[in-house]
């Protein structure tokens, strides 16, 4: 009753709100919170990337995201070391070489490329995406179907996993399996199907 009476006596606009100082552990917790990019934004970005590259398994995306986090963290650690540090030089060269040969970066000359690595870089190395880039398929849905049907070969091996990541050196060895109807259609179109094969068509 006393509080209500006091509130009634206080003129409008006279309320003052003084926030207490945050404790040390509270400040540390707030440092980890990004009020600009909410979790929902991250989820939206995840959905956009998955849709763009036809990633149907969310675990694949999360696996790529974890790898990206580890790589960018290592790159940041290397940058803190002196530029002439032998460990930094050796580790940086090895890391950049692996990322380049995997097709995740386009040059081995800058550590910045490793720092800027994204999940999309991994998605672009997925077999369906590479098939589209090589003009072996018109779209990702079709490419995924060809792979799941066992019509695509990488080197001597038939690949049926759409999450298969293609390295730079593998790109030249992607082809249709010998029994693939698509291969026969393409060969016939290009007049490369020999008479023996034509007899069996």
Write the pLDDT tens digit of every residue in 12-44: 554 445 556 767 666 666 665 555 554 566 788
pTM: 0.72
| 116 phi and psi angles, rounded to 5 deg | -95, 10
Q: Strand, helix or coil at 17?
A: coil
The angle formed by the CA atoms of residues 185, 188 and 190, to the nearest 5 degrees, is 110
Contact 193, 184 (CB under 8 A): yes
Contact 138, 165 (CB under 8 A): no
Q: How would you classify the pairing of strands 152-154 and 174-176?
A: antiparallel
Using pLDDT thresholds of 50, 70 and 90, give the confidence band for residue 131: very high
């Amino acid at each position: 009753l006393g509080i209500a009476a006091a509130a009634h006596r206080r003129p409008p606009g006279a309320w003052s709100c003084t926030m207490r100082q945050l404790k040390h552990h509270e400040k540390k917790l707030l440092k980890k919170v990004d009020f600009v990019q909410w979790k929902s934004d991250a989820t939206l970005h995840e959905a956009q990337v998955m849709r763009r590259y036809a990633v149907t398994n969310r675990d694949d995306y999360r696996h790529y995201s974890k790898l990206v986090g580890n790589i960018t963290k290592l790159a940041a650690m290397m940058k803190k070391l002196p530029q002439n540090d032998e460990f930094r030089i050796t580790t940086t060269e090895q890391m950049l070489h692996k990322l380049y040969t995997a097709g995740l970066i386009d040059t081995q000359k800058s550590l910045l490329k490793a720092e800027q690595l994204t999940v999309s870089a991994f998605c672009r190395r997925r077999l369906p995406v590479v098939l589209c880039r090589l003009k072996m398929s018109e779209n990702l849905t079709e490419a995924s179907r060809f792979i799941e049907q066992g019509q695509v070969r990488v080197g001597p091996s038939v690949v049926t996993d759409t999450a298969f990541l293609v390295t730079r050196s593998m790109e030249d060895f992607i082809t249709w399996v010998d029994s693939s109807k698509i291969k026969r259609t393409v060969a016939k179109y290009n007049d490369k199907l020999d008479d023996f094969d034509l007899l069996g068509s």
